[in-house]
Amino acid sequence: MEHPSCLAKLKNGAARRSLQQSPIKQINDDPLGAGFSVEYTPIRKGRFYHEIVFQLTKTAKRIQTDRLIQKNAGDARKIKAAKERGRPALLDTDIERAAQETRYYLDMEEVQRQFWAHWESTGKPEFKKGVAQAFMGFTKRKYGQVKHGKS
């Protein structure tokens, strides 16, 4: 935002450059605090600069934070969808953990379908240790049945 007292000064090229550089300098002085650094390239058309191209480079911590936010947003959507179906939420991390335990031998989408079908057919009982533990136990039993021919 330009302050009215600065408008007269902006006609001077040096004042304009210093005004443009001060926020960029402030960001670049502490890129970890800002989460990114800024570089810019003024594009000249004729005698005047008509455009400025900015390049933002995120820090590693900012990239990690963005990924965490996206993951949590995905979990929130999954929880909401589960509530709409009248079931507890089974998160991707829980499914991945079960897949690791069974050495990725089973089709986890099919196991999930069977798990929820079994849960609904038994009257939707409460999970004593939580849905993640129940899914893990169900998956291990399925793995034992398929891998070792147990029933």
Predicted local confidence at residue 148, as pLDDT = 80
Last residue in a domain, options 58, 79, 95: 58
Same domain as 67, residue 133? yes
Same domain as 39, residue 108? no
**What Cα–Cα distance (Å) separates residue 140 from each residue in 30, 99, 150?**
50, 9, 11
Write down the residue that tokens 């302050």 correspond to: 3
Predicted local confidence at residue 21, as pLDDT = 62
Last residue in a domain, options 12, 40, 58: 58
Residues of the domain holding 41: 4-58
CA nearest 74: which of 100, 61, 93? Answer: 93
Same domain as 27, residue 44? yes
Predicted local confidence at residue 141, as pLDDT = 94
Same domain as 140, residue 71? yes
Same domain as 83, residue 14? no
Same domain as 66, residue 40? no
Question: Is residue 59's pLDDT more than 50?
Answer: yes
Percent share of the chain, pLDDT over 70: 85
Query: Rounded to whole angstroms, how far apart are CA atoms 79 and 94?
Result: 13
Query: Rounded to whole angstroms, how far apart are CA atoms 68 and 106?
Result: 28
Question: Is residue 60's pLDDT more than 80?
Answer: yes
Out of 27-31, 60-64, 129-133, least confident range? 27-31
Same domain as 71, residue 40? no
Compute CA 125 distance to the chain's CA centroid, rounded to the nearest angstrom.
32
Same domain as 144, residue 70? yes
What's the number of domains the chain is made of?
A: 2
Predicted local confidence at residue 63, as pLDDT = 92
Same domain as 89, residue 50? no
Query: Rounded to whole angstroms, how far apart are CA atoms 119 and 121?
Result: 6
DSSP state of 76: H
Query: Rounded to whole angstroms, how far apart are CA atoms 78 and 71?
Result: 11
Same domain as 143, residue 115? yes
Same domain as 78, residue 52? no
